[in-house]
Amino acid sequence: MELPDLFLTYLSVEKGLAKNTIDSYAADLKRFGLFLKDRAGGMGAATTADIVDFMETLRNSGYSVPSICRYVSSVKAFFRFLLIENRIQVDPTEGIQTPRKWERLPKALAVSEVMAMLNAGLEGKTALRDGAMLELLYSSGLRVSELVGIRLGDIHFDAGFIRVVGKGSKERVVPVHQRALEKARKYIEEERPGILKKRQSPYLFVTSRGGAMTRQRFWQTLKAIGKKAGVELSPHTLRHCFATHLLEGGADLRSVQKMLGHSDISTTQVYTKVTTDRIRKVFKKHHPRA
């Protein structure tokens, strides 16, 4: 068995990580393996210089700092595993610092932009599914991995909430507004059976192959919706909108933290800077003394 496969098996069996997380590690290591394909010894013989070169290649290819940090984190975890398993004698990632994560304000659309996009009718054979996912994402501020992992039994129509399994397999309950519930119900009753074509699936949002919707496929769908609406759209954009619009509406930070599933409130506090920045822009634009 190849070293990356051993590592991924370890993450699945020993660590019990979710499939989406393991898939992310697999994709990162595949990218690293392709970078090393012309270098002697393969991944097990990679040096510190190789890893630094890999980081530099990612930077020159236009990858963002957070993306490079994610790649480096995956590579570090891989080599720590090899060291523990006595597959290598020295960890080449020891002492390597990830690029500094510059604090960036999350990009959030205006309420009017989101409302216009949600009210625009979608077309195609999966219009009800895509519309329900879009509405639920903004309604509850879910991560895309949480959205595609929702099972039929996780959504409670009468009580108006959804059970979510987030990072670290932590569960939380998130409220869902009536419009999102109605769209989800309509999709389940009118479109989901036709997509499955007599197949069975425990997942709420499914594809024509009978499996759960993937993050990549939904990302493509959102990108197309955003292009049509004239805005840059991603799953995380709607999560930012959810948090920012709640705070602008007067929600307290602790409540937003719980709904987002942040373990540390400092992660949530960045959204207060978004609202402050927006207020400052309004003041400068409209106040006669500004």
- Phi-psi bin for 105: left (phi > 0), alpha (psi -120 to 50), beta? beta
Q: Residue 239 catalytic?
A: yes
DSSP string, 122-141: P-STTHHHHHHHHHHHHHHT
- Our answer to whether residue 287 is catalytic in this structure is no
Q: Is 278 among the catalytic positions?
A: no
Q: What is the pLDDT of residue 155?
A: 93
CA distances for 173 relative to 177, 191, 239, 247, angstroms: 13, 26, 16, 19
Catalytic status, residue 143: yes
Which residues pair with residue 162 across a beta bridge? 155, 174
Buried/exposed 76-92: b ≥16 CB within 10 Å, e otherwise: bbbbebbbeeeebeeeb
**Eight-class DSSP state of 43:** G
> Domain limits at 39?
3-84
279, 136: one domain: yes
- Please identify which of the residues 129, 143, 183, 245 carries the catalytic annotation: 143
**137 and 78 fall within a common domain:** no
Express each pLDDT in 5-46 by its tens digit. 888 998 888 888 888 889 999 999 999 999 988 777 778 888
Of 87, 156, 167, 177, which one is the catalytic site residue? 167
Report DSSP state, residue 206.
B
Determine the pLDDT at residue 102.
Answer: 46
In a domain? residue 41: yes
pLDDT score at 249: 85
Task: Return the sign of the alpha-carbon dihedral for residues 267, 12, 144, 35.
Answer: positive
248 and 115 part of one domain: yes
Q: Please indicate, yes or no, whether residues 72 and 122 belong to a single structural domain of this protein.
A: no
Q: Provide the greatest CA pair distance for the chain.
A: 70
For residue 196, the model assigns a pLDDT of 92
CATH number at residue 207: 1.10.443.10
Give 92-135 pLDDT, tens digit per residue.
988 787 666 545 556 778 888 888 888 877 888 899 999 999 99
Count of domains forming the chain: 2
- Which CATH number is 48's domain given? 1.10.150.130
Pair of tokens at residue 59: 């930077």
Question: Using an 8 Å Cβ cutoff, are 269 and 253 in contact?
Answer: yes
Last residue within a domain, chosen from 69, 84, 99 = 84
Decide if 91 is inside a domain. no
| 222's tokens | 């959102």
The low-confidence residues of the chain, meaning pLDDT below 70, are 1, 98-106, 273-274, 276-279, 282-283, 286-287, 289-290
Q: Is 236 a catalytic residue?
A: yes
Instruction: Say which amino acid occupies 68.
Output: I
Is the same domain home to 125 and 183? yes
The active-site residue, picked from 163, 258, 262, 278, is 262
**Residue 177 annotated as catalytic:** no
- Residue of 192, 239, 240, 245 marked active site: 239
Do 233 and 273 fall into the same domain? yes
117 in the same domain as 44: no
Residue 190: what pLDDT?
A: 95
CA dihedral 19, 157, 171, 115 (to 10 degrees): 80
